[in-house]
Amino acid sequence: MKALIAGVLARRYLLIVIAVIATPLFPFVTTALLALETARRGTLEGSLSAVAGIAGVAVIAWVLGDAMPMLVAFGAVSMLAGVGMGALLRWSGALGLAFQVTVSGCLIAAVAVTWFGPEPSVFLDPLIQQLVDAFRESGASEAELEAIAAGGAMLFSVIVAAVLLQVIGGLLLGYWWLTLVREATGFGVEFRALKLGRVLGLTAMVLLALGLIPGLTAIQNLSPLVVFCFLFQGLAVLHAWAHAKQWNPFVTGAAYVLLIPPFTLLGVLGLSTAGLVDNIFDLRAPLRARP
């Protein structure tokens, strides 16, 4: 893996090509590649690669036709997020601080869009109508079509949470690749210590509690995003205990299997609950107390 990443990093054109190809299917890989490029070479060089990558995505989108605006926007978000992650890693020098700043930025952006931006229906109605038309052609009943048409708020929540997953996934993957290239061994240690922190964790818990109050639709739309914030801390807790106790890899593997449909809800709620509890009671304290 180290030789492969070093080879891609040594050939900028190859890195850009892979980032462009990965954008429609694996956007977190695109984000990770740009984060690696920026953290290694600097913000200016990373930005130049991002511009070239966006141009490549635009060419593919132009060939596809109708998908052009959405695909170009998606590629731009993925690549510019990678540049931001790389710059953040260069500034912070640590995964934990970069993680907290990234989650804070995602929460602030989501709150700003929810409270001060236009209604989500402005952007989502055309997409929902396309989904309704597609399901109507497939023979869906009127009740099912009405349920899809009424799912704008839920779709907005899913999109916001998916953006967080992409950004944090790109950050973690990019930092792992960076440690491989630098021949450092700190990724596992830093990942197992990952946490939101008191201030950010308390803010997330308050948002979750407010989301339970009927009528606060704007806060409720952010609930999936907040749950996923605690998901990564829960994964860090799991890996910390598995590493300290030398658990069978099957245990951690089973946790990741639970994140795959149709078990996704169970896995996300379980790991997010562990992250939330850890933010209050520090579930990793007994591990640090060991001689």
In tens, the pLDDT along 56-87 reads 998 888 887 755 677 888 889 999 999 999 99
Residue 150, pLDDT score = 66
Residue 20, pLDDT score = 94
Which H or E run includes 101? helix 95-116
- Is the pLDDT at 253 greater than 70? The verdict is yes
Q: Pick the residue with more confidence: 93 or 237?
A: 237
Averaged pLDDT, 110-123: 73
d(C-alpha 255, C-alpha 240), whole Å? 14
DSSP 213-274: STT-HHHHTTHHHHHHHHHHHHHHHHHHHHHHHT--HHHHHHHHHTTSTTSHHHHHHHHHHH
Residue 290, pLDDT score = 56
List, for residues 25-58, the tens digit of each pLDDT value.
Answer: 899 999 999 999 999 999 999 999 999 999 999 8
**CA-angle at 148, arms to 142 and 151, nearest 5°:** 145
Residue 45, pLDDT score = 95
List, for residues 136-175, the tens digit of each pLDDT value.
Answer: 777 777 776 676 666 666 777 778 888 888 899 999 999 9
Averaged pLDDT, 202-216: 86
